[in-house]
A and B are shown apart, each in its own frame.
Chain A
Amino acid sequence: MELKTPLYETHLSIKGKMVPFAGYLMPVQYEHGILAEHKAVREQCGLFDVSHMGEIVCSGKDALLNINYLLSNDFTEMEAGSCRYSPMCNEQGGVVDDLIVYKLNDEAYFIVVNASNKDKDYAWMKAHQHGNVEFKDLSGDIAQLALQGPKAEAILSRLCTELPDKYYSFKANVDVGGLKALVSRTGYTGEDGFEIYLANKDAAALWEMLMQEGQADGLLPCGLGARDTLRLEAAMPLYGHEMNDEITPLETNLKFAVKLNKAAFIGKEALLTQTVKRTRVGLKVIGRGIVREAMPVYKEDQKIGVTTSGTMSPTLNAAIAMALIDKEYKEMGTKVEVEVRGRRVEAEIVRLPFYKK
């Protein structure tokens, strides 16, 4: 039996098409459809329910020590009120999950993890904790709404006077239309925008308020379908696609979040000694067809890799994909072929991201 977010009834009332995802019933789209929702986020604004995401708080005197040991990024020089992305690796350097750490203060960090991994992550953190620290899974109590797009700031500023200014920063305990929330300037769409965390009981009220406030600005409710096309255009990796237990962050081009010169962390030894043979690239389809995930990539007769995500890009009006391929073929402009249901379709290696605002 799937779980429901506190916005389940709201989704039904506005004709959300509900599908099972990561153990939840989530809207894949609403009545305007994925293309219209995608366009709204690129040109105006979109509102997403992402309450299925997990939230874990790490606190105690040794909180920093613990997250620096668990995660590959370095959190030593970090100001309270800022956010930082990081993979969490296993001993082999593969990825347990990728997540965002919000520093509340020197002894407390708010960690946002993928819905499909939250139980695994929580168990992993508990299993590797040491010293004076406590991990607490708050996923069941917290709702998350993402307001994304060029009009997001204008809309939200009419309900909240203390918005975070900088990308990847946040403000805790702010008042959004009379409700208490944590607001960060983050997102998964490639646009400016905010993610708002608040108590489950307030989620429906905030949704209504935002939809009403944004109506004149062209705000549309958006589902998981548009979330995926938007993040793919922005070339943001998705766990289970561009990375997993057996793909290291070095292979999927997340080197910026792997600090091999910091003290010991889980996976460091493996990553230090890894000879990176494959890499993540962008593919633009030249032939006719849409490339999806897990399709083999060829250079002439040689299989050189596999696609990890693919879709029709509404912004570029072209089929795009990301793939993990043999490093020696990563040059921009290299022509390759992808096998799409038994048929070879020509594609070209292009620079990531596919879309930049």
Chain B
Amino acid sequence: MKVIENYFYTKSHEWIQLLEDGTALIGLSDYAQNELGDLVFVNLPEVGDDLIVGEMFADVESVKAVSDVFAPINGKVLEINEELLDAPQKINEDPYGAWFVKVEGDVKPETLLDATAYQEYLTELEA
């Protein structure tokens, strides 16, 4: 499974990319999309909603089931990726490009996994 350098990750398989202007993008990892299978529906929060670390802020549905997506940081939603609402399959096709929300918030890298740590975590999971 693909893991991107310079992104941070959670054990629940969200990724977070820090942008130069201090905001961040959040999405689901390649491992997650592969485990979930074909995604057919996405529910996103609204602009202005608060994210609370560890709490669900979105959900995705595959043909078979619904899964929650958890906030990796505390923050506020600045923008949502509306394209995903009509084309949830983009998460399967390009998991690291298909961001869910753009947030401003309190990023604590020490509470997240870097690419190397996430890769190790995946290796453990698949062992």
Nearest CB in chain B: distance from A154 CB, A = 28
| Inter-subunit contact B38/A290 (CB<8 Å) | no
Known: A289-B43, A290-B61. A35 touches B38 (CB 8 A): yes
Inter-subunit contact B66/A35 (CB<8 Å): no
A28 part of interface (Cβ distance < 8 Å)? yes
B61 cross-chain contacts in A, Cβ below 8 A: 290, 312
Interface centre among A17, A29, A35, A341 (most CB of B within 10 A): A35
A29 CA to B6 CA in the complex, in Å? 33
A34 touching B63 by the CB < 8 A rule?
Answer: yes
Which residues of the other chain, B, contact A35 by a CB distance below 8 angstroms?
Answer: 38, 40, 63
A319 CB contacts on chain B under 8 angstroms = 41
Are B38 and A289 in contact, with the CB atoms below 8 A? no
Chain B residues whose CB sits within 8 angstroms of the CB of A29 once the complex forms: 37
Is there a chain A Cβ closer than 8 Å to B64's Cβ?
yes
CB distance from A224 to the nearest CB of B (A): 9
User: Please, how many angstroms separate the alpha-carbon atoms of A248 and B66 in the complex?
Assistant: 30
A280 within 8 A of B: no
A312 to B40, CA, bound (A): 7
Contact among A17, A36, A290 for B41, CB-based, below 8 A: A290
Closest Cβ of chain B to A321, distance in Å, is: 13
**Tally of contact residues, A, Cβ under 8 A:** 20
**How far apart are the CA atoms of A17 and B34 in the complex, in Å?**
11
Chain B residues with CB under 8 A of A228 = 64
Tell whether, in the assembled complex, residue B37 and residue A34 are in contact, meaning their CB atoms are under 8 Å apart. Answer: yes
8 Å CB contact of B40 from A28, A288, A290: A290
Residue A292 CB within 8 A of the other chain: yes
A-contacting residues, B20-69, CB 8 Å: 37-38, 40-41, 43, 61-64, 66
Any B CB within 8 A of the CB of A353: no
B interface, size bucket:
10 to 19
Q: Cβ of A229 and Cβ of B43 under 8 Å apart?
A: no
With both chains docked as a complex, state the minimum distance between the C-beta of A135 and any C-beta of chain B, in angstroms.
35
Q: How far is the CA of A344 from the CA of B4 in the complex (A)?
A: 38
| Interface: A314 (CB within 8 A) | yes
Q: Is the CB of B41 within 8 A of A33?
A: no
Closest approach, in angstroms, between the C-beta of A255 and any C-beta of chain B? 31
Residues of chain A from 14 to 73 with CB closer than 8 A to chain B in the complex: 17, 28-29, 33-36, 38
Q: Which residue, of B38, B43, B63, B85, has the highest number of chain A Cβ atoms within 10 A?
A: B63
B63 near A311 with CB under 8 A, answer yes
Across-interface contacts of B85 in A (CB, < 8 A)? 288
Among residues of B, the one whose C-beta sits closest to the C-beta of A312 is B40
What sequence of 0s and 1s flags, for each residue 288-331 of chain A, a beta carbon within 8 Å of any chain B beta carbon? Answer: 11101000000000000000000110100001000000000000
B38: A residues at CB distance < 8 A: 33-36
CA gap between A36 and B37 in the complex, in Å: 11
> How far apart are the CA atoms of A35 and B63 in the complex, in Å?
8
B63 touches A312 (CB 8 A): yes
- Which residues on the A side are within 8 Å of B37 (C-beta)? 17, 29, 33-34, 225
Residues of the B chain whose Cβ atoms lie less than 8 Å from the Cβ of A34: 37-38, 62-64
Cα A17 to Cα B37 in complex, Å, equals 10
Contact partners of A290 in chain B: CB under 8 A: 40-41, 61, 66
Interchain Cβ contacts under 8 Å between A and B, 8 examples: A17-B37, A34-B38, A34-B62, A34-B64, A288-B41, A290-B41, A311-B63, A311-B64
5 further A-B pairs in the complex, CB-CB below 8 A; given A228-B64, A290-B61, A314-B63? A289-B41, A290-B66, A312-B41, A312-B61, A341-B66
